A and B are shown apart, each in its own frame.
Chain A
């Protein structure tokens, strides 16, 4: 394998890696998936409305 081929493969690998980091692990970057923002003033609602959250999640 020539040096230029190795260089290209390594570059492609790095670009793919960076893209994955930004698209999957950084919540602030829009990655095409739809998210629903639930704004709450009392964390107890997570327990008292568990069936409602399940309905939203499709379970």
Chain B
């Protein structure tokens, strides 16, 4: 995977996706969960939700990272793909894993005694999307729900059975267990894909190190492998059907491949 990355501040009002009706970018990654306003002063503002949907429909992929501070713009964007972040000021928590999986986790992670970091192995069982993780994937952020009537969206990573989504201000539990989606995928009819997560730290260096049981090899840690799988699927590097060995011939020619048919 060799992408030419161009970093831009999301608040830059001069961001354009097209130039003379030609798209400049092949993919977009949103790493801006707190961005809250869709700039409407300039009518040609590139990041209007409508413009992003046109970008997607034109055959491009999008990856969206949220967090427990996910603001209006990102929430509105993920809604377009049948995903709904949990309410404002909610966070996914779990502290039981610190005891249940004590022997299997990184000691530095256990020492943190952090109940806003949750662990899970609950990935979707489709090898084209993601492999079964060898260890626990760490997650810190907000949970999601998906529109059950939307046939294009599906969960890629779900929470562990002991996790719960809670409003920090009131202590009200919104959802619990596998009902909490942590990463979701969306594949449209034109095969273009969106991956949405509620954790900005899912693919951070810190989690790459902490998810490695002995902390020595972050590049093969469960979080690293999972993020690589996410990228591969999102950006059409896996799970893509291809024709191979296509041959053309005249309809009534004597040459035809009958080896399998006559065997």
Contacts and interface: CB of A to CB of B under 8 A. Distances in A.
7 contacts: A29-B19, A34-B3, A35-B26, A39-B31, A39-B32, A39-B35, A50-B205
Given A49-B203, A51-B219, A55-B228, A41 B35 contact: yes
Interface residues of A, number: 27
A53 B228 CA distance: 11
A48 B6 contact: no
Interface of B: 1-11, 15-17, 19, 22-35, 47, 200, 203-206, 208, 218-219, 224, 227-228, 231
A33 B224 CA distance: 27
B6 A36 contact: yes
A52 B227 CA distance: 8
Given A51-B219, A52-B204, A52-B227, A38 B22 contact: no
A48 B205 contact: yes
Contact of B11 (A29, A41, A52): A41
Query: DSSP majority for the A interface?
Result: mixed
B25 A35 contact: yes
Closest 8 CB pairs of A and B: A41-B32, A34-B26, A58-B2, A52-B203, A39-B10, A37-B25, A40-B31, A36-B3
A46 to B, nearest CB: 7
A53 B34 CA distance: 20
B227 A41 contact: no
Nearest to A29: B19
A37 B235 CA distance: 13
B2 A40 contact: no
Contacts of B33: 41
